[in-house]
Structure 1
Amino acid sequence: MTRGNQRDLARAKNQKKQAEQAKKKAASEKGGMSLSERKHRDAELMREKQRKKEEQEGAQKQVVN
């Protein structure tokens, strides 16, 4: 047995890594939005932003005229 306890150390390190990944995945699923929900929210925000910009441009044109 030339490796000594390297195998055990590597196994423990891997288990810790797997546990952290599972914890992150569970946290993101629990509190986060799904991809489609996020896309819908972002699209609504962009529409609102575009509407406000158009209103500002319309107000500037009225001031100039």
Structure 2
Amino acid sequence: MTRGNQRELARAKNLKKQQKQGKGKPDLKGLSVTQKKESDAAIMRAKQEAAVAKKEQQASGKK
């Protein structure tokens, strides 16, 4: 019931995959945590404003 080097190849493949994924903290691209939160909040506000504008446009178009 020998498997040859199948397990070793699987381990090497998995190790390569994990290194490619880069486990660890998310990349903040030089920003501090508070700066990242502020930029994320600004992006979300813009998305919400766009969604509200789209809903208003659809509502006015149905009348």
Taking the aligned partners of 2:61 and 2:38, their CA distance within structure 1 comes to: 35
TM-score by length of 1: 0.52
Which sections of structure 1, spanning at least 5 residues, go unmatched? Answer: 1-27
Q: TM-score, normalised to structure 2's length? A: 0.54
* % identity of equivalent residues: 27
SS in 1 for 2:31: coil
Provide structure 2 residue ranges, at least 5 long, that are not aligned to the other structure.
Answer: 1-26
- Identify the residue that residue 38 of structure 2 maps to in structure 1: 40
Q: Looking at both structures, which has the greater relative contact order when contacts are Cα pairs under 8 Å and sequence separation is at least 6?
A: 2
Q: Supply the AA of the counterpart residue of 1:38.
A: K
Deviation at 1:56, TM superposition (A): 0.3
Aligned residues: 37
Q: In structure 1, what is the Cα distance between the partners aligned to 2:32 and 2:42?
A: 16
CA distance in 1, matches of 2:51, 2:31: 28
CA RMSD of aligned residues (A): 1.8
Which one has the bigger helix percentage?
Answer: 1
Query: Radius of gyration: which is bigger?
Result: 1
Secondary structure of residue in 2 paired with 1:48:
helix
